[in-house]
Amino acid sequence: MTPLTKLILAPHADDEVLGLGGSIARWAQEGHKVHVVVATRGFPPTYSPEEENACRREACLAHARLGVASTRFLDLPAAELDTLMHRELNHHLLDCLRSLMPDELYLPFIGDVHRDHQLVFQSALVAARPNTAGFPRHLYAYETLSETNWNAPFLTPAFTPNHYVDISATLEDKLEAFAIFRSQVMEPPHERSIQALRALATLRGATVGLGAAEAFITIRTVA
């Protein structure tokens, strides 16, 4: 198997673990280079410096647990990406693509309820247009519990996966990595609980005959 470079764009620290932590662990174990770009950070008065610093430490520890090759923080304002000029976010993501040259790009889903997720998706598509040298040849959207599942049925796009990654052997890696996010882990039946993550992985796996899986929507693939 030829090693690939895979880039995950996360609007906020923890989205990447919630969405595809098991896949990240599997890919790293298989020898692929997995990079994570976290678009935002929390700024006062909405987020205290202590909260943001704790979340950032947790993200780095979780990424180390999964085998992430590099983590980049863009430090754009969390929950305020809509205050930026669209071209500014485009430019930041284009810089990441040019420096990392990923073969595969993973984006938050356009139908997620959080506006930051929608904007990262839209700007990533601009940055990944197939009219520049080294554009990523495979693009996928991932689902994020507490964001993808809260959209408005029939009014916003539905997350209808057509690509699955078997994480039967790495589900526990994902759950252990998410448990590192002590500031984010909730008690059941909250969807940001360890139990909810396990249940979703089990459901996604069962739909394709696997013990556990993560699901994606294929946006574009160029052979």
Q: What does the pLDDT look like over 7-40, one tens digit per residue?
A: 999 999 999 999 999 999 999 999 999 999 999 9
Q: Mean per-residue pLDDT for 211-223?
A: 97
- Provide the total of helices (H) and of strands (E) in the chain, helices listed first: 6, 7
Asked if the model's pLDDT at residue 132 lies above 90, the reply is no
CATH number at residue 155: 3.40.50.10320
Instruction: Provide the number of structural domains found in the chain.
Output: 1
Residue recorded with tokens 């990079």 = 35
**Rounded mean pLDDT, 122-144:** 95
| pTM of model > 0.75 | yes
Rounded percentage of the chain residues whose pLDDT exceeds 90? 96
Say which residue, 153 or 138, is predicted with more confidence. 138
Least confident of 71-75, 122-126, 149-153, 185-189: 149-153
Work out the pLDDT band at 47, boundaries 50, 70, 90. very high
Phi-psi region for residue 134, left (φ > 0), alpha (ψ -120 to 50) or beta? Answer: left
* Structural domain boundaries, residue 73: 5-219
pLDDT at 56 over 90: yes
Supply the pLDDT for residue 1: 80
Alpha carbons 138 and 83: distance in angstroms, whole number: 30
Report percent pLDDT > 70 for the chain: 100
Mean pLDDT along residues 40-66: 96
Q: Which helix (H) or strand (E) holds 87?
A: helix 86-100
Tens of pLDDT along 74-119? Answer: 999 999 999 999 999 999 999 999 999 999 999 999 999 999 999 9
> What's the pLDDT tens digit per position in 192-210?
999 999 999 999 999 999 9
107 and 9 Cβ atoms separated by less than 8 Å: yes
